[in-house]
């Protein structure tokens, strides 16, 4: 590991030198002999200290959530590492047979969902609906003999979308049997469409109310796979107590591994690939669609060209998968001196900081405000070898969470080692015992994931503006104003509202309670 990291450092140094000479040739003026680099030893030490502050204030945590995952790069990605490009997805309309109530008008009916990710269906655990939507029970009265939709089928759909669904399903005639009030659907339970396939889909699929459900597209119902989407995860976890009381298992499966392949928790599909190592479509979608056809649960299929997230490095599509990662919480009260004040969250601090920062042009304020107001918790970990590690020690809890060691002496040892030797010190033989000292006999484990590079760049204010001993060359760009605060302008393109501006704002708000700049 250390040898590889040294090669990475040499590679980065080479390209820094190449780019410096190119900038000089372009006539760009700068203090080229004294640049600041996030890979310098003092910078790496300060980045580690900054992350330790989030650990100390209680907002750094390890959780298992769906994150954007690059199969090509084998790592989690944050929003700032993703760009949206045209992509053609398979789309399917799928029938979920109603099992409860098993009598009356809904007997033999099916709830219909639409999805552009058929490969997520083995991870389905629920169907989301909206109590605000008008639904109806519809009967197919005529359809071609070779159709997947059969004459006599009873389907539950949003009224506003029924005509489009039947068009996609090549249904030539249908009728509405009755209205179904949306606020009654939470009493409905379904069977998984893959029940009987592979022996692993025999569980109940409940209907859960979700604010994200609309009748703009699809069917008015949202297939909910908590392993593969933020909203799916939120809806599922918000209902786990009620589901437990109903005897419905609430464990979230790990259906897809780091290679984009189905695990044993997707029975009947193990080994099929969502994406291959080159980021190209694998055989997972077709395998799932074939199983749905054989089960008689496919209503229609098609293709959709739309904007889909891609890694900005590999330029290949990403997937959403449930995986243990490190996060910085946006909505957990921040603890200072062991006490947390209700409402004092990273999101609240960042939104306030935005309001007192000058944005040029002014439209930038609305842009970043919307991003911060709606963003999920910050995925801080990456599964890479080169970078500043998440330099904390943890103890595993029975529920899969991790307790972080809070020890100032240990933290100081780590920071001092990084200052003298760089972050490679974390990966040296005997590093655990060296840093833990007398606590090495305790069952603390060293975290080897690295920090999101945007955390690195977001921490630059902590050493460029505050560490005048190691970065004295930049002191002349900062002037004092009344009150003694530093006035700094962050100057970059508008794309940095989700990049450098964004991560710098969150880092500084979380550790200092304010923005790192007065204008941006």
Q: Which of 12-26, 468-482, 502-516 has the lowest mean pLDDT?
A: 468-482
**Domain spanning 84-318 has what CATH number?**
3.90.740.10
Residue pair 303/90 in contact (Cβ under 8 Å)? The answer is yes
Distance of CA 45 to the CA centre of its chain: 27
Distance of CA 437 to the CA centre of its chain: 36
Residue 499, classed as helix, strand or coil, is coil
Percent of the chain with pLDDT over 70: 96
Domain ranges in the chain are 1-35, 36-59+329-512, 84-318
pLDDT beyond 90 at 59:
yes
Q: Which pair of structure tokens corresponds to residue 248?
A: 């419905």
Q: Which pair of structure tokens corresponds to residue 221?
A: 């119902």
Helices assigned H by DSSP within 239-283? 240-245
Residue pair 210/235 in contact (Cβ under 8 Å)? The answer is yes
**Reported confidence tier of residue 34, pLDDT bands at 50, 70, 90:** confident
pLDDT beyond 70 at 399:
no
The predicted-structure confidence for 83-107, as pLDDT tens digits, reads as follows 999 999 999 999 999 999 988 889 9
pTM exceeds 0.85 for this model? no
* pLDDT score, position 474: 54
Q: What is the DSSP string of 395-408?
A: EE-TTS-EEEP--H
d(CA 213, CA 99): 22
d(CA 150, CA 139): 10
Q: Which of 416-420, 443-447, 478-482, 489-493 has the lowest mean pLDDT?
A: 478-482
In terms of Cα–Cα distance, which of 114, 89, 92 is closest to 304?
89
Other CB atoms closer than 10 Å to residue 284's CB: what's the count?
A: 27
* pLDDT score, position 272: 97
d(CA 259, CA 275): 8
Query: Does the N-terminal peptide bond of residue 39 adopt cis geometry, omega within 30 degrees of 0?
Result: no
How far from each other are the two terminal CA atoms of the chain, in whole angstroms? 39
Query: Which residues make beta-bridge pairs with 109?
Result: 154
**Reported confidence tier of residue 199, pLDDT bands at 50, 70, 90:** confident
Q: Which pair of structure tokens corresponds to residue 433?
A: 């015992």
pLDDT beyond 50 at 348:
yes
**Reported confidence tier of residue 486, pLDDT bands at 50, 70, 90:** low
Strand residues in 397-454 grouped as ranges (E) = 402-404, 445-446, 450-451
d(CA 185, CA 168): 25
d(CA 378, CA 292): 36
Among 267-276, 368-377, 476-485, which range has the highest average pLDDT?
267-276
Strand residues in 32-152 grouped as ranges (E) = 60-70, 75-77, 82-100, 109-115, 126-129, 135-142
């Amino acid at each position: 590991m250390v040898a590889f990291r040294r090669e990475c450092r040499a590679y980065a140094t080479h390209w820094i030198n190449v780019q410096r000479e190119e900038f000089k040739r372009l006539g760009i003026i700068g203090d080229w002999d004294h640049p600041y680099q996030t890979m310098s030893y003092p910078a790496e030490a300060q980045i580690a200290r900054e992350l330790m502050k989030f650990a100390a204030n209680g907002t750094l945590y390890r959780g298992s959530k769906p994150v954007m995952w690059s199969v090509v790069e084998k790592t989690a990605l944050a929003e700032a590492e993703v760009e949206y490009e045209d992509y053609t997805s398979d789309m399917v309309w799928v029938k979920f047979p109603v099992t409860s109530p098993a009598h009356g008008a809904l007997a033999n009916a099916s709830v219909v969902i639409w999805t552009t990710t058929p490969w997520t269906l083995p991870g389905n655990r629920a169907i989301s609906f909206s109590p605000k939507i008008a639904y109806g029970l519809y009967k197919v009265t005529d359809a071609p003999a070779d159709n997947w939709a059969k004459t006599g089928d009873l389907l539950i759909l949003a009224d506003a979308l029924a005509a489009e669904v039947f068009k996609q399903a090549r249904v030539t005639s249908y009728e509405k049997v009755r209205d179904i009030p949306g606020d009654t659907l939470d009493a409905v339970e379904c069977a998984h469409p893959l029940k009987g396939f592979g022996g692993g889909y025999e569980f109940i699929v409940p209907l859960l109310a979700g604010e994200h459900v609309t009748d703009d597209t699809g069917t008015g119902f949202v297939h909910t796979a908590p392993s593969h989407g933020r909203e799916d995860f939120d809806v599922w976890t918000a209902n786990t107590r009620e589901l437990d009381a109903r005897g419905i298992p609430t464990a979230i499966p790990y259906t897809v591994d780091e290679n984009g392949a189905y695990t044993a928790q997707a029975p009947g599909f193990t080994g099929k690939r969502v994406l291959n190592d080159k980021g190209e479509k694998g055989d997972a979608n077709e395998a799932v669609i074939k199983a749905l056809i054989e089960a008689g649960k496919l209503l229609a299929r098609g293709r959709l060209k739309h904007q889909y997230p891609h890694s900005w490095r590999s330029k290949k599509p990403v997937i959403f998968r449930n995986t243990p990662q490190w996060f910085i919480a946006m909505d957990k009260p921040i603890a200072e001196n062991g006490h947390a004040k209700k409402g004092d969250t990273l999101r609240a601090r960042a939104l306030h900081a935005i309001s007192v920062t000058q944005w040029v042009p002014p439209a930038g304020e609305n842009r970043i405000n919307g991003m911060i107001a709606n963003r999920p918790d910050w995925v801080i970990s990456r599964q890479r070898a080169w970078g500043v590690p998440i330099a904390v020690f943890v103890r595993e809890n029975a529920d899969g969470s991790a307790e972080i060691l809070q020890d100032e002496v240990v933290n100081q040892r780590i920071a001092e080692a990084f200052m003298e030797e760089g972050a490679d010190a974390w990966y040296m033989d005997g590093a655990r015992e060296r840093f833990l000292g007398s606590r090495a006999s305790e069952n603390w484990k060293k975290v080897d994931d690295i920090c999101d590079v945007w955390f690195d760049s977001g921490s630059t204010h902590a050493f460029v503006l505050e560490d005048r001993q190691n970065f004295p060359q930049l002191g002349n760009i900062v002037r004092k104003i009344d009150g003694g605060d530093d006035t700094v302008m962050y100057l970059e393109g508008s794309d940095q509202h989700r990049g450098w501006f964004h991560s710098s704002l969150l880092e500084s708000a979380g550790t200092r309670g304010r923005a790192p700049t007065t204008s941006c």
